[in-house]
Chain A
Amino acid sequence: MRIIDVFKNLFFVGLMVLFFSCFFDWYSFSMINSNGEMIMKWSYHLFFGWATPFSNSSVNNEYQPESSLFPISINVVLIGLIIFSVYIVVFKNIENITSEKNKIVYGYGIMALCILILYYISSFPWYLGELYYPAINIDDLESGSTFIYTIELGYILQVLAFPMIFAYTLYYLMTAIKFEKEESAPEKIVHDLVLNVQEELDFDKLIAKEELKFITHNKSKNK
């Protein structure tokens, strides 16, 4: 197996990891009281926003985060780019694409996915606002409870997916930008083109017509 095939497979695995990351929690914060019971928990999901298993708890409601972190439209774009990239990696091998324009479009398309992942990774801590990042346990000595702030599997998978995807993406884009097939019109095409523009001369027909004229002329002369 060639090295590029290894990275192509890694790219595909990265896309799968990225796809699954969208369906796991990205962040959670919870409170455990002095008895070791969890009395508050909020988890962030990319599509469903903040969710909690304690719906009717006043303590829980007190800590409810204000808003969703990422706009749903960006999440839809992410899913769209993942599907597009899967299509590219499965059906559009750069070594076989003949159209230069398509190659560049595909290259920029999958690079857009990389940039979007980087946006998610880097902006996530800022969207969290006052919530701690990446993970921390805070013990409240007065009440004896513990606050746990931590990034979850969804975000970790997103982080893991980036290097898996980046290498093949950059290779794809650089190849699309750097390499260009030298177009050469085959001899036959030029030959056909020449035939196409040339005015046809049917010598046999011309000779026959002229001979007929000659014969007719001679006959009429003899008469």
Chain B
Amino acid sequence: MSYENQDIKLKNLIQVCKETHNYKKIAVVGFILIGNRLNEIGIKLGTRKKSGETLVEYMERINHVFQQNLGILIFKDYFIETLSECEPLFLREQGNIPYEDIRTMYELYFELRRLDVPNLHRQIDENDLVGVSPYNFQSFLSPSSKRKHNNSSDTLKPLILQKIKEKQIALQKQSKERLNSSLLEEVISLKKVQNTLDNKNKQHKIKFEGTLKESIDYQQSIEKVVGYFILGMVILLFTLGMSITMKVVLYSEFFGSLSYWALLFVGGGAILLIVYFTYFIKRR
């Protein structure tokens, strides 16, 4: 049901409840609406409500997670304060709360509805982010290009981290005034970049979306199979060469005939190893 339809029906319900003086029903519906909206926000942000957890506790937990990780608050203190006044009373009195509190609850509900949060289960596309062009170096840090720019990115790392920090602080300040989904996505994107830079030296998997076949990094990696073939030949020739060499050592009387084979295998292996290093390691 769209918010528009819901609002019309809600208005009708409130009117008829006023006629019957059934304020409890208005309060119960309001409380359910707040709960539903909080659940929606929580799921979109990747935090589900635990069983037995009150709405205030749930809001505080979401705030705590985002404060700890991104330095921003999803729910303003006013939201939590208001609900922490209404919720215990509502639960204790089983919906029989004063008219003023009912009004406050509905105000809170409409405030929560205005809260624009992104669906964090969706992968944030760089192109979705407006106004973060200075941080487009995220692609520059993609695994395929990371190698090429390894040295230059090391030199720039402190500067980039400083810039990220400045931007993060600015976004945190902005979030206190008005939080919206693009701002939150921007904060998360910056955090990702920061983590990428911090963990740059650690071994990471190359992530791909869609199918493996469509990944450019994968397409590039296919060429390596030729190198693997040469590497296999190197391993084989060295193994055979070493086996024969050891046998030559044991039967020194056949040194002349067997050492020829050993030399052939080890020499062939060495040449292929040079080829492998020249064309498949140094060129990377």
**A118 contacts B119, C-beta separation under 8 Å:** no
Nearest chain-A residue to B237 (Cβ)? A163
Nearest chain-A residue to B226 (Cβ)? A3
The interface size of chain B toward A, counting residues with CB under 8 Å, comes to: 62
The interface size of chain A toward B, counting residues with CB under 8 Å, comes to: 54
Among A128-162, those with CB < 8 Å from B are: 132-134, 136, 159, 162
Nearest chain-A residue to B257 (Cβ)? A136
A190 contact from B32, B35, B43, B217, Cβ within 8 A? B43
Nearest chain-B residue to A171 (Cβ)? B225
Q: Please judge, given known A-B contacts A136-B254, A210-B22, A217-B20, whether A122 and B243 are in contact too, CB under 8 Å.
A: yes
- In the docked arrangement, what's the CA distance between A7 and B208, Å? 23
Q: How far is the CB of A223 from chain B (nearest CB, A)?
A: 18
**B43 contacts A4, C-beta separation under 8 Å:** no
Q: How far is the CB of A185 from chain B (nearest CB, A)?
A: 4
Nearest chain-B residue to A185 (Cβ)? B121
Q: Inside 8 A of A207's CB, which chain B residues have their CB?
A: 9, 12-13, 16
- In the docked arrangement, what's the CA distance between A175 and B48, Å? 34
- In the docked arrangement, what's the CA distance between A170 and B242, Å? 23
**B244 contacts A133, C-beta separation under 8 Å:** yes
Q: Inside 8 A of A125's CB, which chain B residues have their CB?
A: 243-244, 246-247
B215 contact from A162, A174, A179, A213, Cβ within 8 A? A179
> 7 A–B contact pairs at CB < 8 A?
A94-B212, A122-B243, A136-B258, A163-B229, A179-B207, A197-B49, A201-B33
Of all A-B residue pairs in the complex, the 3 with the closest CB atoms, nearest first, are A166-B232, A203-B9, A167-B229
6 other A-B residue contacts (CB within 8 Å) besides A95-B213, A167-B228, A179-B205: A162-B235, A167-B232, A168-B225, A179-B217, A180-B206, A207-B9
B interface residue numbers (CB < 8 A to A): 6, 9-10, 12-13, 16-17, 19-20, 22, 25, 29, 32-33, 35-36, 39-40, 43-44, 48-49, 119, 121-123, 205-209, 211-213, 215, 217-218, 221-226, 228-229, 231-233, 235-236, 239-240, 242-244, 246-247, 251, 254, 257-258, 261
